[in-house]
Chains A and B, each alone.
Chain A
């Protein structure tokens, strides 16, 4: 049921040319090389260590692993992760 609703919304967004992250409440990830990672639309932090950051999303979580990771900006809408990002993984 949820899956079908999402498919409809996605098609609607495609027809009306509305960005899909707004329609489907998806996170938007902007990366600057492997130095910075800006994540918008998150639901909080699950775990934080210098080698791994787990961030809760609407569906599932995002696992960022790397070295010397640092949360340099933390707000309701966005998280800025700085350091050396090695791997970004979705876990749904």
Chain B
């Protein structure tokens, strides 16, 4: 490895020695302390490798040994240098390329704004531009600290701002303050959103009108938003007029859902047979030309795919030119029979997907009941699914004060 590198640095010449006594040439080289390697003999002659500096010393040896030499190959660093000297423009080009690359990389090209939620990115972009961080600005000229401080000072909604350069991108990272929403103070009642049986009712503010075990209907008043001034000794004998407050509380109720799904044992699906025909229509202004017509046989099932091609807008202003390519695929009907169990599964899945949109995610499912309905139709499987859940059915409804 090290020897190979040494050979490369000094430059290596491979020569062909031809003559009556090539061995004599080798022996003379040894005596003159010329280092040889990779000596091989082929039919054409003897091939010898030597370093470039030794190559200039072998002329007298060749003469005395009465041999002929011929350079077959040469490689190494001195030859590379010589090549480069002959092609100066390539080196200049390479240096210029590195210089241009380095120059271009020292500018900002893109500004990315990350982490904004409520503040419009446009606003931050404008603010950043004003402070000198804009595409085309030199990286060294931008003082990150002052831009950050400017943003933080101008926008009170910003909790933290960080600017970092990654290559030619400037990343403006923004963390917004979480400002709690103002609470609705208007007086309100809690009303049932669904039919059900109350399992738990805790009024945190207001007066409950129903108790555990009661059956409620949708729209029934559950907690009334009334309160009494002062200490409540006995609300019934209090003669102070009740005033309206915002009711709040926890209401859990058992709710039942029902859904129904059906599935056919034999279904007909349509498949493309692979036969297709293409029709082309060209429209110029109001005129329509049928370039290729497709004769559609009425007894065959077909599926049509239509492609509309228009010229780009700037070429299509005076006269509208467009072409329509319709591909007609031939279809064949196929009856697919599925098993009774599969049909049941499909019906069940259909019924459950219907229910999924009705049951809120927070609901706690108590039981699922699946019932297969017996029907006179042979081809149909009908499934009824009923689900029992416990969920919060309260809804705060503001009371309109006239």
Binding site for B on A (CB under 8 A): 44-50, 70-76
Contacts and interface: CB of A to CB of B under 8 A. Distances in A.
Contact of B22 (A44, A48, A73, A74): A48
B2 to A, nearest CB: 14
Nearest to B27: A44
Given A71-B37, A76-B31, 8 more contacts: A46-B23, A47-B23, A70-B40, A73-B37, A74-B29, A74-B35, A74-B36, A75-B30
Nearest to B29: A74
Nearest to A77: B30
Given A48-B23, A48-B26, A75 B35 contact: yes
DSSP majority for the A interface? Answer: strand
8 contacts: A44-B27, A46-B23, A48-B41, A71-B26, A71-B40, A72-B37, A72-B39, A73-B36
Nearest to A43: B27
Interface string B28-53: 01110101111111100010000000
8 A-B pairs closest in CB distance: A71-B39, A44-B27, A74-B36, A45-B23, A70-B40, A73-B37, A45-B26, A50-B41
B283 to A, nearest CB: 79
Contacts of B23: 45-48
Contacts of A70: 38-40
B362 to A, nearest CB: 79
Nearest to A83: B40
Residue with the greatest number of chain B CB neighbours at <10 A, chosen from A70, A71, A74:
A74
A50 B42 CA distance: 8
A47 B42 CA distance: 14
Nearest to A79: B30
B130 to A, nearest CB: 73
Contacts of A46: 23
Contact of A71 (B31, B33, B36, B42): B36
B22 A76 contact: no
B27 A76 contact: no
A5 to B, nearest CB: 28
B46 A48 contact: yes
A74 B37 contact: yes
A74 B41 contact: no
Contacts of B27: 44-45
A74 B35 CA distance: 6
Given A46-B23, A47-B23, A48-B46, A74 B30 contact: yes
A45 B33 CA distance: 15
Given A45-B26, A46-B23, A48-B22, A74 B33 contact: no
A70 B31 CA distance: 20
Contacts of A50: 40-42
A46 B23 CA distance: 6
B22 to A, nearest CB: 7
B26 to A, nearest CB: 5
B40 A74 contact: no
A73 B4 CA distance: 12
A20 B401 CA distance: 124
Contact of B26 (A49, A72, A73, A74): A74
Contacts of B37: 71-74
Contacts of A73: 36-37
A92 B42 CA distance: 29
Nearest to B49: A72
Nearest to A75: B35
A49 B41 contact: yes
Interface in B220-259: none
B391 to A, nearest CB: 84
Given A45-B27, A48-B23, A76 B36 contact: no
Contacts of B46: 48
Contacts of A48: 22-23, 26, 39, 41, 46
A48 B27 CA distance: 11
Contacts of A45: 23, 26-27, 30
A46 B26 CA distance: 10
A48 B41 CA distance: 8
